[in-house]
Each structure stands twice: as structure tokens, then as C-alpha cells.
Amino acid sequence: MNKKKDIRSLSKEQLREFFVSNNDKAFRGNQVYEWLWSKAAHSFDDMT
């Protein structure tokens, strides 16, 4: 079973590595990090 991980506990670099390891672009990690910490998004629905 795949356990959920709190992405707020990841550094920007860890988020970048996560996206790359899932065949996405590293900059997606930057975008998510900014939404979490600069724009105070509480869910993925808030990231529009």
C-alpha cells in the first residue's frame, strides 16, 4: 500500500526530485513549493 506523505515536510529540492522521478519537469517542484509557502495554498485545488 502506498502511504501518503505530507508534501509540506519536503524541501524545494526534494519536491524537484519527486517530480523528476515521476517523469515530470523539475520546475513543477518549484511551482508547488511557491504555492505552499508564498501563496499559502491549502490544497491542490487552490493551486490554479
pLDDT at 29: 94
**What is the helix (H) or strand (E) element at residue 47, kind and residue range?**
none
Which of 16, 38, 11 lies closest to 26, judged by CA? 16
pLDDT at 39: 86
pTM of structure: 0.77
pLDDT at 24: 97
pLDDT one digit per residue (tens) for the chain, 48 residues: 678 888 889 999 999 999 999 999 999 999 999 998 888 888 888 887
pLDDT at 6: 85
Q: Residue 7 burial by CB count (10 A; 0-12/13-18/19+): exposed, middle or buried? A: middle
pLDDT at 1: 61
DSSP conformation class of 36: H
